[in-house]
Each structure stands twice: as C-alpha cells, then as structure tokens.
C-alpha cells in the first residue's frame, strides 16, 4: 500500500508532489533542493553550502519516514555544473561516512529555482 510522506522539517514542495512515497519497506524521495525551510528560498553561497542544505533536507525527509541516511540504497544527484563534482563529493562524504549507497551523479542543463544541486534517494524504512 502506498503512503505519502511530508516532512515538517523540510521546505514545502514547490510543485504538486510530496516529499516522498513509501511502498512496503521502500521509500522513494523527491529531489531535495537546497532550500531553507526558514527562509523559503535557496541558501546563499556556492555548491558546498547548497549541497549541505540539499542533503540536510534529504535527511529530514528520511527521518519523517522512519528511515535515515544509513538506510539509503541509492542516490541520484543532479548538478547544474559538472565542474562542481569534486566540491559536491567533499560535502556528500560527510553525510555518507561509511557504507556509501549506490549513486548516479550527473550535470543537467537547469535545476528549479536556479539551484546548483538536487538530490533524491531510494531507501529502506525501518521495520
């Protein structure tokens, strides 16, 4: 049975979607932009600051679904500039310190709101 997840700590969706959808013990998150819930806008700074906020938002969504970063099976990471790959990795590895999930990471032409990064995940929900 499908269950919709919306996280109180994550910023509101900017379109007609939920933060995540669960089916059984699997969780599929929407892409998390580097938007601060408090400000309702992109965080200031470059790729490092935006990567940190996107990953924090992902963490909030996972926690709202009774999951966590340790349960992530795969991430898909979108960068507006592939030259930001190394800087993104520096932030990413602080969130996934060991047993890193499978990952795809690639550059796209544009991201919503002019963001530099967006991250989505597939995770396992704690029983």
pLDDT digits (tens, 9 = 90+) for 1-27: 899 999 999 999 889 999 999 999 999
**Strands in the chain per DSSP E:** 2-5, 20-23, 26-29, 35-36, 41-42, 72-79, 102-107, 117-124
**pLDDT level of residue 87 (50, 70, 90 thresholds):** very high
Superfamily of domain 2-124: RutC-like (3.30.1330.40)
43-71 pLDDT, tens digit per residue, is 999 999 999 999 999 999 999 999 999 99
Q: Is the pLDDT of residue 31 over 90?
A: yes
Q: Please say if 105 is a catalytic residue.
A: yes
Query: Per residue in 108-117, pLDDT tens?
Result: 999 999 999 9
What is the per-residue pLDDT across 88-114, written as a single tens digit (0 to 9) for each? Answer: 999 999 999 888 999 999 999 999 999
Which of 21, 64, 105, 122 is catalytic? The answer is 105
């Amino acid at each position: 049975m499908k269950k919709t997840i919306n996280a109180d700590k994550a910023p509101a969706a900017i379109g007609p979607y939920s933060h995540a959808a669960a089916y059984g013990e699997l969780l599929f998150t929407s892409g998390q932009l580097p938007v601060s819930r408090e400000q309702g806008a992109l965080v200031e700074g470059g790729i490092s600051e935006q990567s940190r906020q996107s990953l924090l938002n992902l963490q909030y969504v996972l926690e709202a679904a009774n999951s966590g970063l340790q349960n992530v099976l795969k991430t898909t990471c979108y960068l507006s500039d592939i030259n930001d790959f190394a800087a993104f990795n520096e932030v990413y590895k602080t969130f996934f310190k060991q047993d890193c999930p499978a990952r795809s990471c690639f550059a796209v032409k544009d991201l919503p709101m002019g963001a530099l990064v967006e991250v989505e995940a597939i995770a396992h929900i704690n029983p």
